[in-house]
Amino acid sequence: MTQVFQAFIDGQGTDSVSGETLSITNPATGQVVAQAAKCGQPDLEKAVAAAEKAGPAWAATPVGERSKVLLKAASLIMANQQELAELETMEHGSPIRKTMNFDVPLCAEQLEYFAGVARAMTGETLPVGPWCLSTTVREPLGIVGLITPWNFPALMVVWKLGAALVTGNTCIVKPPSIAPLTTLKLAEILTEAGAPAGTVNVVTGPGEKIGEAMVRHPKIAKIGFTGDTATGKRIMQVASDHVKPVGLELGGKNAFIVLDDADVDAAVQGAVFGAFFNSGQVCAAASRFYIHDSIYDDFAAKFVEAAKALRFGDPMDMATVIGPVAYAAHRDKIEAYIADAKQSGATLLLGGERPQTEETKDGYFVPPTIFGDCDQNARFMREEIFGPVVGLCRFSDTDEAIGLANDTPFGLSASLWTRDTAKGIALAGQIKAGTVWINEHLIIFCDTPWGGCKESGWGKDLSKMVLEEYTLTKHIYVDLTGQPEKPWYGILK
Ligand code: NDP
C-alpha cells in the first residue's frame, strides 16, 4: 500500500470529493511510490470558499505580522530539510545532494527575502497641486491562483507563494501532477508557522481540468503561472474571457556565447553548470552554444571532458550529481530530440545513448549529451528540449553571434563570455532576453528580477518587482480646498 497524500484546503488535509487519486512515480526506479488526491471542480470550490473566508482578515493583518509567518516558515523548512529534500528527490529525481544543499535552503532564504522586502513596500505621494492630496496605496488582489511546474517543485511554488502571501493575498496552488508532494508539505509548514486556515490551499489534479478551472474562476483575481509556452498561450486565451491578469514565466532556448578573448577554462566550467544542472530541466539552461572559431576546438574538447566526469545514477546517493529526468514521456521526448540532432548531421561528441547500467536501467536516465557543428535551423536547436542535450555552433564575427542568439522565438536568458567587461555590457544590450549574464550562466538570486520577453512570457518573479505583480496600486485623491466650486467645473457651465 503506498501512502496517500491529501489535498490541503482550509488549513487541513482533505481527500478529493470524488475520492480519486493520482499515482506518483519515482523516476529513478519507475515505481509508483505514493498517491495524491485528484481534485476536480468541487474541490476547487471548497478551496475558493476557504480562501474567500480567510481573505479580509489576512489582508488586514499588518505586513509585519505576515512577514513573521514567513520567517517562522523559513526556520521550519530548515528544521524539515531532510524530509523535504527526500520527498523532492523521490517525486522528481533531482539528486539528494542538490535538494538538500540547494533547493530546500533556497526555499527558506526566499521566504526570508520576501518577509523583509515586503516591509519596505511603499506608495507614492504625487505633486499634483496644493489643492489636493494625491497618493497611491498598494492593496492585495484577493484570491490568487498559482500554477507551478515540476522542474523545481518546491522552489517554484515558494517563489510565488511567498510573494503572494506576504502582500496579503490568499492563495490556491495547483502543483504539477507528477510532483505535488513537496508543495503539500510546504502548505502544512506555512500553516504551522501561523498562516491562518484558508490562506494557503493546494489542489492537486490535472492541469487541463483543475488548472484551467482556476483560470476561469470568477473569484480568482490573478493567475501566476510557470510552465510550458504552449500552456501559457492557452492560459492567456482562457484568461482573456475574464480580463484576468496572468504572470507568465515560460520556456527558453538560451544562448551561451563564447567570444575569442574569453577565459576558455572558466567558460567550460560555466557551460557544464549551465547545461547540466538539474539534468538541463531548467528554463534558463544553456542550450545553444555559439563559440568563436579560434577557440571552438579547445572549448569543445574541454567541455566534453568535463561533462564526461559528471557522475549520474541513483539520486539518493550523495555522490550523484545527475539524476534521472522527471518522467518516462519526458525521457522519450528528449530522446526524440537526440534522434533529430543525429539526423540533422550534427556531430555527436558525448552521450546520446540510453544508459544500461544496473543502477539506471529501470529509471528515466538521459546522459549529458553534446553535439558539435550544429545547424541553427535544426529542430533540436530551435525548440526547448528541457533535458541534458546541447548543440555547439561556430561563429567568426561577434555581430553574427548576436544575430544567432536573437534568432529564436524565446527571450528568457543568455550568457556572454569575454575578458572585456565593457564589451560584454555593450553586447548584453543587444540581446533580447530578460537576463544576460557575463562570465556566468544560471545564477539567480532572490534579490534580482526573473522573467523573460517574447515567447518566454512576461511579468517578474523574485526581487522587489514581484510585489507589484501581487498588489493593486490604487490612487486615492483627497480634495483639500474645502470649496464647493472648482475651476474645472466651469466646463459644464
Ligand atoms: P506545463 O505547462 O506542462 O505544466 C505547468 C503547470 O501547468 C502544471 O501544474 C500543469 O498541470 C499545469 N497545466 C497544464 N495544462 C494546463 C492548462 N490548460 N491550464 C492551466 N494549467 C495547466 O509545464 P511543465 O510542468 O512541463 O514545466 C516545464 C516548463 O516550465 C518548461 O517549458 C520550462 O521552460 C518552464 N519553466 C519556466 C520557468 C521560468 O521562470 N520562465 C521556470 C521553470 C520552468 P499538470 O502537471 O497536471 O499537467
Among this protein's residues, is 440 annotated catalytic? no
Asked whether 59 and 86 are in contact (CB, 8 A), the reply is: no
Instruction: Write out pLDDT tens, residues 354-386.
Output: 998 999 999 999 999 999 999 999 999 999 999
- Its sign, for the CA torsion 141, 209, 203, 103, is negative
- Reported in sequence order, the residue ranges of 312-412 that DSSP labels E, i.e. its strands, are 347-350, 369-372, 389-395, 410-411
Let me know if the fold of 3-250+456-475 is the same as that of 254-438.
no
Q: Is the pLDDT of residue 459 over 80?
A: yes
Instruction: Write out pLDDT tens, residues 383-438.
Output: 999 999 999 999 999 999 999 999 999 999 999 999 999 999 999 999 999 999 99
CA gyration radius, the chain: 24
CATH of domain 254-438: 3.40.309.10
Residue length of the chain: 493
Asked whether 196 and 171 are in contact (CB, 8 A), the reply is: no
Residue 2's pLDDT band (cuts 50, 70, 90) = confident
Q: What is the DSSP letter of 488?
A: G
Q: How far is the CA of 45 from the centre of ligand 1 (A)?
A: 22
Among this protein's residues, is 249 annotated catalytic? yes
Distance CA(131)–CA(164), nearest Å, equals: 36
Distance CA(485)–CA(465), nearest Å, equals: 41
Asked whether 405 and 417 are in contact (CB, 8 A), the reply is: no
pLDDT at 356: 87
Instruction: Write out pLDDT tens, residues 296-355.
Output: 999 999 999 999 999 999 999 999 999 999 999 999 999 999 999 999 999 999 999 999
Candidate from 44, 150, 157 with most ligand 1 atoms within 8 A of CB, to mutate: 150
Q: What is the DSSP letter of 419?
A: S
Q: Regarding the domain delimited by 3-250+456-475, which CATH topology (the fold level of the hierarchy) does it fall under? A: Aldehyde Dehydrogenase; Chain A, domain 1 (3.40.605)
Q: Is the pLDDT of residue 1 over 80?
A: no
Domain segments of the chain as ranges: 3-250+456-475, 254-438
Region 250-262: mean pLDDT is 98
- Choosing from 249, 335, 383, 469, the catalytic residue is 249
User: pTM, whole model, 2 decimals?
Assistant: 0.97
Residues in contact with ligand 1 (CB, 6 Å cut-off): 147-151, 174, 176-177, 206-208, 211-212, 215, 226-228, 231, 234-235, 249-252, 283, 384, 386, 412, 450, 452, 456
Q: Nearest residue CA, atom 43 of ligand 1?
A: 283
Look at the block and give the residue holding cell 478551472: 213
Instruction: Write out pLDDT tens, residues 36-55.
Output: 999 999 999 999 999 999 99
- Choosing from 283, 374, 393, 446, the catalytic residue is 283
